[in-house]
Amino acid sequence: MQAVHVGLAAHWRCAAAEDEFLSTSHSATSAMESKWQFLQPWRQVLRDCKALHDSLDVVDSRDFRASHLPVQASIRCWPALPKGYELLGGRCTIPVPFPADAAIRRDRVKLQRVREAMELFNVLATVSRAAFLELLSECVVVADNFDDLFTPDYIFVLPVWECYLVGRLDSENEVTKGGVVTWGALFGCPEDPMEYSPEFRAAMQRLKEMRVQVNSMLGDFMGRQVSAEWRDPCNVVEWTAEHLAIPTRGVQTMTSETTSPAMIDSVMCELSVLIGAQAPASVQLCTVMETTNLLKTWEYSPPSSLPLSVETMRPVFSAPGVLQLTTALANMNLASLRLNLDEGIESIEPGKGLANASALLTALVCGSHIHQSAKDVNAAASFPYRGQITDFEVTLGGNSTIPAAGLCSAIVGSSLIRSLTLNMGTLSDRNPVLNQIRWGWLVYALWSGVSRSTIQCAKLTNIHLSRASVNAIADALRHSYPPSNRYQGNSEEPSYGYVDIKAGAVLRPSALGPADNTTVVASRDWRCRARYNCGVNNDLEVVVPGFGLCTLVCSGDIIECAPDDTVRRQDVESRGIRSLSLEFFQIETPTLVGDLLALIGRSLRSLSMGIFWTGRRRCVMLKDVAAACPQLQELSLLNFDLVLSSHDKLRNWGVRKLSITGSEELTGVADHLKDPSCRMARELEELEITIPRGVKVSTNTIQALKSHHGDYLAITKDRLCLSAKAAMISVVDSNNCVKHSADKLIAVHRLDEILLGFIFRFAATPKRRIVRIN
């Protein structure tokens, strides 16, 4: 690839000799300026932007950023390049500040001129590297190997337009009135210059003609290659919204409808598309001083259709504006949400912080509100999330159990999340009690008999597995109730069940200290999971979504109490996690892995386990995994030593894919593959083993494993090939079937000898095993 890179660079240097000469020869400076004179008006605009950027006196504080630099957007619009040729473009960053001052915003022509300059120079970057650097070198503030941008090793410049708003918009601005707000409208340049500016169209046409020559040269060179796989173009907005309570950042990707190399000129219009894309609701919220109109608009409008990846950063839940931000997040299409709960909710104004955090969790995770703060029952609450979060990632940390309790009490009834990644926070704390409480809450939310969660894929990281943690898991599953110390030391065993509380019931969060009098009011009738002592009046504890454990202030608010023995429970195996990934930081004893899986692994189809700490190895007995996970089809192990022994559960285990990485022991693997009485010998489709460096494995063992590559298996293929699909289509009624009565048209009569041949060849071709030893 390096040779090809050099060859293309040499080819390009010949074709671009004129610009290279003009950019390096002092005597030819006037010639360079003459050739690109038509871009001078827009060059001056970007110079003015750089001057404004340099004049700003920035203070590194949350308050300053929220009020003075509330929104940043890094816009990247780069053309498609052949695979392996990404290094032909050198990246540089150009600051583009947009003032929020009302007087400046009224000068729409000037702001539109900034947009025009961005679009023109974005195209110039793919036309002439030398001209781009000559005209804008003083505007570039950050670059990758900036000095190299001035060498012939690069063909293109890949500009990153760092747009940001200086100040916040007043109530008279059109952005504050709601509706669809684009990035262009937010920055004060909403109009497409191709539609109103003949001067701009003429300049873009000249660049387009030059671009045709560039395309021709690149196409000629790529045409001489054996093959050329083209990458997709890069059309991305990476944004940050500096909210005072919860700053957010995210990625907005525009998918190009065109993948043909011949359409590489799409870069000319894609930047305009990005600027015309709808700005996320959390961004809009941070740009305005008055949010009332925005909130009213979102209440009656559907969420944005564009999928977004969003991350919250260092939340301060006691700060003002959390409910408004929750409303903004609920109005976004959150394909991916990363929520950082590593800050202590109880650190400042714990009651207010807990109430706000609960509102955010219940809105986004549950999709509903069942409570509000008793201190402000008339406050406008955020409305619930109406979409579905494909990937939900949460980081726990600090020395508090409140985040885990609030999160898991919301997850237990959630139907909005497909996949969960949870950082258990082991690296930042060493509190064993905290660890077991987090485990108990998590298992209650995902695996207990009362869980209604629809999450089927979970990944847990930074795990410290101890005997106390496993015991906490067992207790949570036995009672279908999270960890609580309310009845510790009592001689009488508490009872478990449900209570129906009525609207207006007042509850007090158990996580708050005795000095905090914060209470919560139920906004409607609600059935809660409960634990109580039958022999003590007013001794009732309930699980409230977003808050965790609460106590009922007045027993008169109970409508009905239903003990567990009167309530039909769900079958644990009928739902729950199907795919689980466990990344261990530390495991106290090797047997704990089997004990953990015996409690939560029965419904698993896919399991991945790894130890991610150098020198901390553990041995796993595969018979324990087989006994705990009888339905498992895929198993991946990292840095575990593996032992296979003769055991009935292991012999009858139908795992299909097995990946072993970093294991220093492979005892029994080859023996099970050659034993026809083992299901693994008959049904294991893929075996991949990666031997760590420095570990010596005998040649006989490796050969014995490799000898099973290509074995015929007594199973059918797991996916239908194209021929089989064609055969299946032939036995399905076509659109013409409606014209005939059912007794006159029999689908099976459509099967001729060709289609029958497809079926029989598919059925007669068995699966063959794949063995890889690395």
In the chain, where are the structural domains located?
2-68+79-244+270-287, 307-479, 495-566, 578-708
CB within 8 Å of 388: residues ≥ 6 apart: 416, 417, 418
Spatial distance between the Cα atoms of 153 and 143, rounded to a whole number of angstroms: 15
Residue 596 pLDDT more than 60? Answer: yes
Residue 377: pLDDT band by 50, 70, 90 thresholds? very low
Question: Of the given ranges (437-446, 507-516, 722-731, 761-770), which has the lowest mean pLDDT?
Answer: 722-731
As a three-state string, the secondary structure of 597-613 is: HHHHCCCCCEEEEEECC
178 — alpha (psi -120 to 50), left (phi > 0) or beta?
A: left
Spatial distance between the Cα atoms of 147 and 150, rounded to a whole number of angstroms: 6
DSSP 151: S
Q: Shortest CA distance to 271 belongs to which of 150, 180, 189?
A: 189
**Residue type present at position 635:** L
Residue 773 pLDDT more than 70? Answer: yes
Q: Shortest CA distance to 343 belongs to which of 404, 396, 393?
A: 396
Residue 574 pLDDT more than 60? Answer: no
For residue 277, give the 3-state DSSP assignment: coil
- Tell which wins on pLDDT, 455 or 382: 455
Return the pLDDT at 228.
45
- Contact criterion met (CB below 8 Å) for 356 and 329: no
Return the pLDDT at 496.
92
Q: How do 640-643 and 618-621 pair as beta strands?
A: parallel
Question: Of the given ranges (189-193, 589-593, 599-603, 743-747), which has the lowest mean pLDDT?
Answer: 743-747
Residue with tokens 């003009």: 22
pLDDT digits (tens, 9 = 90+) for 272-324: 889 999 999 999 999 998 888 888 888 777 777 788 899 998 888 888 999 99
Residue with tokens 């237990």: 412
- Which structure tokens are listed for 429? 């704390």
Spatial distance between the Cα atoms of 705 and 584, rounded to a whole number of angstroms: 28
Q: CB atoms < 10 A from the CB of 278, how many?
A: 18
Spatial distance between the Cα atoms of 682 and 660, rounded to a whole number of angstroms: 19
Distances in Å between the Cα of 707 and the Cα atoms of 670, 772, 773 are: 9, 11, 11
How many residues are present in the chain? 774
Return the pLDDT at 15.
40
- Contact criterion met (CB below 8 Å) for 618 and 587: yes
- Contact criterion met (CB below 8 Å) for 466 and 436: yes
414 by Cβ neighbours in 10 Å (0-12 / 13-18 / 19+) ranks as buried
Torsion of CA 656, 661, 664, 669, to 10 degrees: 10
Residue 375: pLDDT band by 50, 70, 90 thresholds? low
Q: Shortest CA distance to 146 belongs to which of 135, 159, 164?
A: 159
Return the pLDDT at 19.
47
Percentage of the chain modeled with pLDDT above 90: 37
Spatial distance between the Cα atoms of 695 and 664, rounded to a whole number of angstroms: 6
Residue 154: pLDDT band by 50, 70, 90 thresholds? low
Distinct helix (H) and strand (E) counts, the chain: 27, 28
Q: How far is CA 658 from the centre of its chain?
A: 27
Q: CB atoms < 10 A from the CB of 729, how many?
A: 11
Residue with tokens 């009858």: 652
For residue 103, give the 3-state DSSP assignment: helix
Q: How do 234-241 and 248-253 pair as beta strands?
A: antiparallel
> Per-residue pLDDT averaged across 477-501, rounded?
82
Residue 547: pLDDT band by 50, 70, 90 thresholds? very high
Q: Shortest CA distance to 690 belongs to which of 664, 713, 711?
A: 664
Q: What is the pTM of this model?
A: 0.83
284-298, 420-434, 448-462, 750-764 — most confident range: 448-462
Spatial distance between the Cα atoms of 385 and 368, rounded to a whole number of angstroms: 8
Spatial distance between the Cα atoms of 675 and 681, rounded to a whole number of angstroms: 6
Topology of 307-479 in CATH? 3.80.10
- Contact criterion met (CB below 8 Å) for 644 and 679: no
Residue 730: pLDDT band by 50, 70, 90 thresholds? low
Residue with tokens 């003032």: 99
Question: Of the given ranges (209-223, 301-315, 748-762), which has the lowest mean pLDDT?
Answer: 748-762
DSSP 314: S
Residue 164 pLDDT more than 90? Answer: yes
Q: How far is CA 198 from the centre of its chain?
A: 43
Residue 728 pLDDT more than 90? Answer: no
Q: Shortest CA distance to 674 belongs to which of 705, 637, 712, 639?
A: 705
- Contact criterion met (CB below 8 Å) for 640 and 663: yes
Residue 561 pLDDT more than 90? Answer: no
Percentage of the chain modeled with pLDDT above 70: 74
Spatial distance between the Cα atoms of 774 and 771, rounded to a whole number of angstroms: 10
Q: Shortest CA distance to 233 belongs to which of 253, 256, 215?
A: 256
Return the pLDDT at 347.
57
Task: With both helix axes pointing from N to C terminus, report the angle between 467-479 and 432-446 in degrees, rounded to the nearest 10.
Answer: 30
> Per-residue pLDDT averaged across 633-660, rounded?
88
Residue 23 pLDDT more than 50? Answer: no
> Per-residue pLDDT averaged across 144-161, rounded?
66
Residue 759 pLDDT more than 50? Answer: yes
Sign of CA dihedral 727, 732, 738, 744: positive
Distances in Å between the Cα of 735 and the Cα atoms of 3, 679, 732, 740 are: 56, 44, 10, 10
CB within 8 Å of 57: residues ≥ 6 apart: none
165 pairs with which residues across the strands? 71, 98
Return the pLDDT at 268.
53
Question: Of the given ranges (462-476, 497-511, 625-639), which has the lowest mean pLDDT?
Answer: 497-511
Strand order in the sheet with 618-621: 618-621, 640-643, 666-667
Q: CB atoms < 10 A from the CB of 464, how many?
A: 22
pLDDT digits (tens, 9 = 90+) for 335-367: 999 998 865 555 567 888 888 899 899 989 988
> Per-residue pLDDT averaged across 168-175, rounded?
78
Instruction: Tell me the average pLDDT of the chain.
Output: 80
Residue 83: pLDDT band by 50, 70, 90 thresholds? low
Residue 724: pLDDT band by 50, 70, 90 thresholds? low
Angle subtended at Cα 39 by Cα 33 and Cα 45, rounded to the nearest 5 degrees = 115
Residue 429: pLDDT band by 50, 70, 90 thresholds? low
Q: How do 495-501 and 526-532 pair as beta strands?
A: antiparallel
125-134, 221-230, 727-736 — most confident range: 125-134
Return the pLDDT at 51.
94
- Which structure tokens are listed for 287? 């740009």
Question: Of the given ranges (321-330, 345-354, 509-518, 659-668), which has the lowest mean pLDDT?
Answer: 345-354
> Per-residue pLDDT averaged across 690-711, rounded?
86
Residue 614 pLDDT more than 70? Answer: no
Residue 768 pLDDT more than 90? Answer: no
DSSP 379: S
Distances in Å between the Cα of 53 and the Cα atoms of 47, 48, 400, 452 are: 10, 9, 42, 52
Return the pLDDT at 301.
77
Return the pLDDT at 526.
86
Distances in Å between the Cα of 15 and the Cα atoms of 8, 275, 302, 306 are: 11, 33, 52, 41
Return the pLDDT at 306.
80
- Which structure tokens are listed for 410? 């919301």
> Per-residue pLDDT averaged across 485-506, rounded?
79
Torsion of CA 415, 419, 424, 427, to 10 degrees: -160
CB within 8 Å of 693: residues ≥ 6 apart: none
- Contact criterion met (CB below 8 Å) for 713 and 772: no
